[in-house]
A = this chain, B = another copy of it.
Amino acid sequence: MVGPLRPKFVLFGSSIVQLSYTNGGWGAYLTTVYSRQADIVLRGYSGWNSKRALAIVDQVFPQDAVVQPDLVITYFGGNDAMEYNPSGTSPHVPLEEYIENMRKIALHLKGLSDKTRLIFLSCPPLNEEQYISAHGNEMIRTNEASERYSEALLKLCKEIGVKAIDLFNSIRRKDNWENISFTDGIHLSAEGSSVVAEEIEKVLKQAEWEPSLNSDSMPTEFP
């Protein structure tokens, strides 16, 4: 809408996306890094699972939009990986259905335009004790489930040729990760967010994608 036209990067996902501009978040970081080059558009929906995301993906990303995104960074899975709860209040989605939903979301996003690139983020780990003390233990989240959902997403991404970031293992690579990565056991602290930002930058550089940080196709506006 504002010219000259810049590449558009969309951040699409649940709370780890919606909250990515708080606590020195990775969304705010990307906005700063690309401040003279690309527009970062936030499409974060706290609490959502892949089922809800699939239901609206064609409204958030209409096939016939005049301008399509250059990059979509997508994260759903943490809420899907929660345990099923007989009262029906859990956003749990069974693993196979989660993967099919993510496959369909990838297909829709890839179909938006030839230039549209994708990065999927897999489920991060959590600090189970910190989570329970912040949120109670009615809704159950475990590292065991997060790891399964993360692994399955990485496998899907390999199969369909989508760049993926292994958040489960990236975050756990830091010393004392349990205690420095989260604000409430699940949502990312500045430390946790810095891992996401670093991994995204790595993928953008490794992929030699246009748009990339040093690409001629993404000049700095009014240098």
- Given the known inter-chain contacts A32-B19, A32-B22, A41-B39, please indicate yes or no for A60 contacting B2, CB distance below 8 A: yes
**Among B2, B31, B41, contact of A21 (Cβ-Cβ < 8 Å):** B31
Q: Within 8 Å of chain B (Cβ to Cβ): is A135?
A: no
- Given the known inter-chain contacts A10-B2, A41-B2, please indicate yes or no for A28 contacting B22, CB distance below 8 A: yes
Distance between Cα atoms of A3 and B39 in the complex (Å): 15
Distance between Cα atoms of A222 and B41 in the complex (Å): 16
Q: Are the C-beta atoms of B3 and A65 separated by less than 8 Å?
A: yes
Within 8 A of B (CB), among A69-85: 69
Distance between Cα atoms of A22 and B28 in the complex (Å): 7
Q: Within 8 Å of chain B (Cβ to Cβ): is A174?
A: no
Distance between Cα atoms of A61 and B5 in the complex (Å): 11
Find chain B residues with CB under 8 A from A40 CB: 42
Find chain B residues with CB under 8 A from A36 CB: 18, 44-45
Q: Within 8 Å of chain B (Cβ to Cβ): is A67?
A: yes
- Given the known inter-chain contacts A28-B28, A56-B222, please indicate yes or no for A2 contacting B44, CB distance below 8 A: no
Q: Are the C-beta atoms of A1 and B69 separated by less than 8 Å?
A: yes
Distance between Cα atoms of A175 and B152 in the complex (Å): 53
Q: Are the C-beta atoms of A35 and B56 separated by less than 8 Å?
A: no
Q: Within 8 Å of chain B (Cβ to Cβ): is A59?
A: yes
Distance between Cα atoms of A45 and B10 in the complex (Å): 22
Which residue on B lies nearest to A4, using beta carbons? B59
Q: Within 8 Å of chain B (Cβ to Cβ): is A43?
A: yes
17 contacts between A and B (CB under 8 A): A1-B8, A1-B41, A1-B65, A1-B66, A2-B8, A2-B43, A2-B60, A3-B59, A3-B62, A3-B65, A4-B59, A4-B60, A18-B35, A18-B36, A19-B32, A45-B221, A66-B66
Which residue on B lies nearest to A29, using beta carbons? B21
> Residues 1-39 of chain A: 1 if any B CB is under 8 Å from the residue's CB, otherwise 0?
111100010100000001101101101110110011001
Find chain B residues with CB under 8 A from A56 CB: 222
Q: Within 8 Å of chain B (Cβ to Cβ): is A122?
A: no
- Given the known inter-chain contacts A21-B21, A45-B222, please indicate yes or no for A2 contacting B65, CB distance below 8 A: yes
